Chain A
């Protein structure tokens, strides 16, 4: 029983932490229709910035905010490459992802792994220290869920503002944004900033959980985030009362469940990335299968 409870806890911990990234990628991929590969670089960026800041004694919550802003800045670069320099969406993402590798190494001072053990993190200080006895075991789940749901809620609120509506319009029909006298390119850059900000925040929280930053932790994040978004949105499409942002968090949890289940069934760790790719492929194909039967279709997922 304890083993199962432990597994559920692990799934929820990672599900909520990666869920933050899924909400961000929902903005870029689903709202803007932009397959953003820079996520592979901005996820470890968040982790590295956090490690560098916390190891010099910066407040962990402030580190979260700074990580978000750094990710947003990187997202702006992707947007700038695409919108102003007219580089294709995929290439813009690849360029930023590649460049981030060096940026992250500079931030960690050339180390591939930057630990910050025994420093205060969001899981060990502030509100987390108020959790008593038994709840301490679940502090990562509780705080991860709190941050993830807060991000989700803020994004929901934002999407209902005037700026948020304009962002949705920019993804839906850029010509409409032009006819409103606004530059759809700027909205794209803004959306990429939000998406990559969330991704970096996700990397930041993960780093605080493991108390170290690994510059290769971003590998496979695009696949994981997109799989979460596609699994979530296609499974909960019919359920009216579940918001899309909620469904992508569920998607992230479900995706993690599949991975953990496969590992428990004895799949060697070496096959993890292969499994990730396979699950993503299944999600894409089944989404297409259902999309064919819908009248109004979203961005075609095979465009990535």
Chain B
């Protein structure tokens, strides 16, 4: 069994091996979330992760990105073991869009300055001119893909954009430079239905175009069923549904809802 797991881990693009994670250990509110949790994701997969509150879906993302440390276990991304790397070091090959639209961009900088910074990701941040005039057209072309008319507003402060616009921009910005892994952390949850649809369509387009390996946590069962080629449902720190390819396509949203209600009722939600 263990050798089989190991070889599976070798083929895996993203792998979480034997993860243990307890929140607030040795206190009255101690929560044991993961005990010997393992998960692997193949290259190029678009994985949707759903689950009730406290099921551990966002914790998986936080562990992969390095926002919180695992108690034990090992995480690998594209052949690298990232356990010892700090969050900002892992960010060099991971792109992340947060639920909060204000996290993915700088509100006081202009659209142009935000893009210029993102464009330079992986390069040195030295004393060269911050915004290169030569890149303006490239930025405009990329902004046109958003179909929000932002290409004419390069000098606008990002803080004055709407949540949907900011989230679309955040998505564009974090996929500007080559990535190993795209992490979407409930990135449509704070948006109105219309904007969520837009951002989701844009996500699909970018992920397909750049063939990105993607992990998307969502509360929206419809999006989870509709997008992506693998679906994982989490419950209390373990995977209860894991369907890929044809099995996923066969999953109907009603099956998901039923299953989801079942585990939610168990939790008293």
Contacts and interface: CB of A to CB of B under 8 A. Distances in A.
Given A165-B117, A165-B130, 17 more contacts: A162-B120, A162-B127, A164-B130, A165-B109, A165-B116, A168-B106, A172-B106, A175-B103, A176-B105, A176-B106, A178-B87, A180-B121, A181-B121, A182-B125, A183-B86, A295-B160, A296-B159
A177 interface: yes
Q: Which has the most chain A C-beta neighbours within 10 Å: B104, B106, B118, B120? A: B106
A161 B121 CA distance: 14
A168 B159 CA distance: 14
Given A168-B109, A296-B108, A296-B157, A180 B126 contact: no
A160 B174 CA distance: 22
B40 to A, nearest CB: 25
25 contacts: A161-B126, A162-B117, A162-B123, A162-B130, A165-B113, A166-B117, A168-B108, A172-B108, A173-B103, A173-B106, A173-B107, A176-B103, A178-B88, A178-B91, A179-B91, A179-B96, A179-B104, A179-B174, A180-B120, A181-B88, A181-B91, A181-B92, A183-B88, A296-B159, A298-B108
Nearest to A180: B121
Contacts of B120: 162, 180
A160 B127 CA distance: 9
Interface residues of A, number: 25
Interface size of B as a range:
35 or more
B95 interface: yes
Nearest to A160: B130
B245 to A, nearest CB: 31
Nearest to B97: A179
B193 interface: no
Interface of A: 158, 160-166, 168-169, 172-173, 175-184, 295-296, 298
B105 A173 contact: yes
Contact of A181 (B89, B116, B129): B89
Contact of A169 (B88, B109, B126): B109
Nearest to A176: B106
Given A178-B88, A296-B107, A296-B160, A173 B102 contact: yes
Contacts of B117: 162, 165-166, 169, 176, 180
B130 A161 contact: yes
Contact of A163 (B114, B127, B157, B159): B127
Nearest to A295: B160
B128 interface: yes
Contacts of B102: 173
Contacts of B121: 180-181
Contacts of B149: none
Which 10 A/B pairs are nearest by Cβ-Cβ distance?
A181-B92, A165-B130, A172-B106, A181-B91, A162-B125, A178-B88, A166-B125, A296-B159, A161-B127, A172-B108
B87 to A, nearest CB: 6
B127 A158 contact: yes
A180 B103 contact: no
Interface in B102-158: 102-109, 113-114, 116-118, 120-131, 157
Nearest to B106: A172
Contact of B91 (A166, A168, A180): A180
B76 to A, nearest CB: 18
Nearest to B123: A162
B227 to A, nearest CB: 22
Contacts of A298: 108
A221 to B, nearest CB: 27
A256 to B, nearest CB: 29
A158 B66 CA distance: 31
B132 to A, nearest CB: 9
A69 to B, nearest CB: 17
B116 to A, nearest CB: 7
Nearest to A185: B88
Contacts of B92: 181
A122 B126 CA distance: 31
A175 B123 CA distance: 18
Contacts of B174: 179
A165 B120 CA distance: 11
A180 B119 CA distance: 9
A180 B86 contact: no
A169 B106 contact: yes
A177 B108 contact: no
Contacts of A182: 88, 125
Nearest to A31: B108
Contact of B104 (A168, A176, A177): A176
A158 B125 CA distance: 12
B107 A162 contact: no
A183 B87 CA distance: 9
B129 to A, nearest CB: 6
Q: Which has the most chain A C-beta neighbours within 10 Å: B104, B108, B159? A: B108
Contact of B107 (A172, A177, A180): A172
